C-alpha cells in the first residue's frame, strides 16, 4: 500500500494501491549460416578440394507419405495424455499447415484449443486452469479468456508435433527401412524423432496411423484424415477472430503506482495509468512481447466502467500503460456529482498481464486461415464421407474477479 496523489473531484484526497501481475517463457530461434573458403598451396596454386557429398534422395515411401500429409485435407487426432498427473482426453483437427482446433476434456472439465501463427491457445474455466496449469498464479486473469497455453498444457507444441507439414519434414529424414510394428493389426513403419514417434502404414499410400509423444506420460493419438474440412474451418475461424488481447501467462510484470488523470469534473471519461516492468523472463525481452492493462473504476461498490490497453515491451523492459473509462455509467455518475454537491469517492482496480496477440494482428491471422481454407476445401472430395463429429461446444466459461484486487482509491471533495 503506497500513499500518493490520486484522481479527485476538485480538492485534495488520498488513494492507495496494491498491484499484482502475472508469469513466462520465450523461445529463441538461432539461425546458422555456412561460408565456403578457398585454400591455396605454398606456391600460390589452388589445392585440390574434396568434392561435396551429395545428399541421398529421401526414400520413396517417405516422399509418398509426405505428399499424402501436405496435399490432403488435414488430420484428426483422438487420444489421451496426462496433464498435471490427470488423464486428459484430446480431440483435435489439424490443417496441413498446422492450424488446429479442438478440445481437451478432463472429467467434467473442458478446454477449447486452437493453434495459429505457430502458437497454441486455450479457453477454459478457472477449475481447468487450477487443476492443469501448473504453478501459474492469478488464474482469474486467464480463465474465461483465450490465453496462450503454458508449457504444461497441453505439454507439447501442437503445430510442430501434429502439423502435417511438420511431420512430412521429419519423415523425409527417416531411413529407407525403418523398424516396424502393428497398429490395430496394420503393419506400420516406426519413425522416432526427438519430438514424437510416428507410425506410418508400411503399405502405400503410407498413411499416418498414430502419433506417440516421447517421455513419461506422453500423449498417444490415433490419426485419421479430416473428412469434412468445411466443418473444421467453420469452428476454427470464429475462435481465431476472438484472439485479440489473448493473455500470455509466460510473461511476468512488476507494476508501479497507479494514478488517475483527467478525471476531475470530466463527464467524458477518466484515465488510469500504471507503469510496469517486465520481470520474467529475466534474460532479455522475448520477440513480440506485449503488456496489457485491464482496469475498472467503481464508486462505493457500483461499477462505473472498465478499459483496456496494451503496448509492446521496449528493450529497457519498462513502459507506462494508460486506458480511459468512457462508459455511460461514468458520464451519468459524474453529471450527478456535479449537479448534487457531496462526497463522491471512486476507486480503480487494475492488473498488468502479458499479451500474446495484438488485436491489430487478427486480420492477418484470419487472412491466413482463409487462404488455407480455400486451398483445402478445393482439394476435398466433392462428396466426402461422413465425419465423426467432435465433442459438442459448451457455453462461455465463467469469469472470476481476483480475490485480492489491486486497489487505488481517490476521495472527492465535499463539493464536486
Banded pLDDT at 19 (limits 50, 70, 90): very low
Q: State residue 85's pLDDT score.
A: 75
Comparing 30-34, 65-69, 78-82, 378-382, the range with the smallest average pLDDT is 30-34
What does the alpha-carbon distance between residue 158 and residue 196 come to, in Å, rounded to a whole number?
11
Residue 27, pLDDT > 70, answer no
pLDDT value of position 386: 40
User: Who has greater pLDDT, 187 or 39?
Assistant: 187
Query: Which of 48-52, 105-109, 262-266, 310-314 has the least mean pLDDT?
Result: 48-52
Residue 54's pLDDT is what?
A: 54
List, in sequence order, every beta strand (DSSP E) within 108-207.
109-116, 119-124, 147-148, 180-183, 186-192, 196-201
Other beta carbons within 10 angstroms of residue 385's beta carbon come to: 8
For residues 364 and 154, the model is more confident at 364
Residue 314: predicted pLDDT: 97
Cα dihedral 64, 66, 69, 72 sign? negative
Minimum mean pLDDT range among 98-107, 163-172, 212-221, 362-371? 212-221
The CA distance from 214 to 196, in Å, is: 5
Among the listed residues 146, 140, 147, 143, the one whose alpha carbon sits nearest the alpha carbon of residue 128: 143
pLDDT surpasses 90 at 294: yes
pLDDT score of 4 more than 50: no
Q: What is the mean pLDDT of residues 264-293?
A: 95
Q: 151-195: per-residue pLDDT in tens? A: 777 767 899 999 999 999 999 999 999 999 999 999 999 999 988
**How much is the pLDDT for 188?**
97
Least confident of 126-140, 158-172, 255-269, 294-308: 126-140
User: Cα separation of 408 and 267, whole Å?
Assistant: 20
Asked if 199 and 181 count as a contact pair (C-beta separation under 8 A), the reply is yes
130: three-class secondary structure by DSSP:
helix
pTM for the model: 0.76
DSSP string covering 339-353: HS-S---EEEEEEEE
Q: What is the pLDDT of residues 213-267, one digit of tens each?
A: 887 667 899 999 999 999 999 999 999 999 999 999 999 999 999 999 999 999 9
Amino acid at each position: 500500500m503506497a500513499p500518493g496523489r490520486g484522481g479527485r473531484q476538485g480538492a485534495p484526497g488520498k488513494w492507495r494501491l496494491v498491484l499484482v501481475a502475472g508469469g513466462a517463457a520465450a523461445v529463441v530461434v538461432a539461425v546458422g549460416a555456412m561460408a565456403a573458403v578457398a585454400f591455396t598451396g605454398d606456391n600460390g596454386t589452388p589445392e585440390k578440394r574434396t568434392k561435396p557429398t551429395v545428399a541421398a534422395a529421401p526414400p520413396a515411401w517417405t516422399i509418398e507419405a509426405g505428399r499424402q500429409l501436405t496435399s490432403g485435407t488435414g488430420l484428426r487426432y483422438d487420444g489421451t495424455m496426462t496433464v498435471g498427473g490427470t488423464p486428459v482426453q484430446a480431440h483435435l483437427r489439424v490443417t496441413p499447415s498446422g492450424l488446429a482446433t479442438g478440445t481437451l476434456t478432463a472429467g467434467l472439465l473442458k478446454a477449447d484449443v486452437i493453434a495459429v501463427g505457430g502458437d497454441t491457445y486455450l479457453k477454459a474455466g478457472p477449475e481447468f486452469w487450477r487443476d492443469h496449469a501448473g504453478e501459474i498464479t492469478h488464474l482469474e486473469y486467464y480463465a474465461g479468456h483465450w490465453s496462450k497455453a503454458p508449457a504444461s498444457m497441453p505439454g507439447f507444441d501442437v503445430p510442430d508435433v501434429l502439423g502435417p507439414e511438420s511431420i512430412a519434414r521429419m519423415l523425409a529424414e527417416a531411413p529407407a527401412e525403418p523398424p516396424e510394428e502393428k497398429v490395430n493389426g496394420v503393419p506400420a513403419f516406426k519413425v522416432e524423432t526427438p519430438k514424437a514417434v510416428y507410425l506410418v502404414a508400411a503399405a502405400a499410400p503410407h498413411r499416418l496411423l498414430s502419433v506417440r509423444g516421447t517421455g513419461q506420460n506422453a500423449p498417444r493419438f490415433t490419426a485419421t484424415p479430416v473428412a469434412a474440412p468445411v466443418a473444421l474451418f467453420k469452428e476454427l475461424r470464429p475462435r481465431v477472430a476472438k484472439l485479440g488481447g489473448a493473455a500470455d501467462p509466460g510473461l511476468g510484470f512488476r507494476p508501479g503506482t497507479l494514478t488517475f488523470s483527467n478525471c476531475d469534473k470530466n463527464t467524458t471519461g477518466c484515465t488510469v495509468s500504471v507503469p510496469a516492468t517486465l520481470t520474467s523472463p529475466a534474460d532479455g525481452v522475448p520477440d513480440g512481447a506485449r503488456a496489457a492493462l485491464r482496469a475498472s473504476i467503481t464508486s462505493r461498490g457500483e461499477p462505473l466502467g472498465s478499459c483496456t490497453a496494451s503496448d509492446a515491451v521496449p528493450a529497457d523492459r519498462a513502459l507506462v500503460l494508460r486506458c480511459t473509462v468512457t462508459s455511460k455509467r461514468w458520464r451519468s455518475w459524474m453529471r450527478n456529482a456535479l449537479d448534487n454537491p457531496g462526497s463522491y469517492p471512486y476507486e480503480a482496480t487494475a492488473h498488468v498481464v502479458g499479451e500474446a496477440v495484438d488485436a491489430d494482428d487478427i486480420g492477418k491471422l484470419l487472412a491466413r486461415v482463409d487462404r488455407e481454407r480455400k486451398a483445402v476445401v478445393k482439394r476435398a472430395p466433392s462428396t466426402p464421407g461422413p465425419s465423426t463429429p467432435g465433442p459438442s461446444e459448451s457455453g462461455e466459461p465463467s469469469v472470476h474477479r481476483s480475490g485480492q484486487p489491486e486497489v487505488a482509491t481517490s476521495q472527492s471533495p465535499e463539493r464536486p
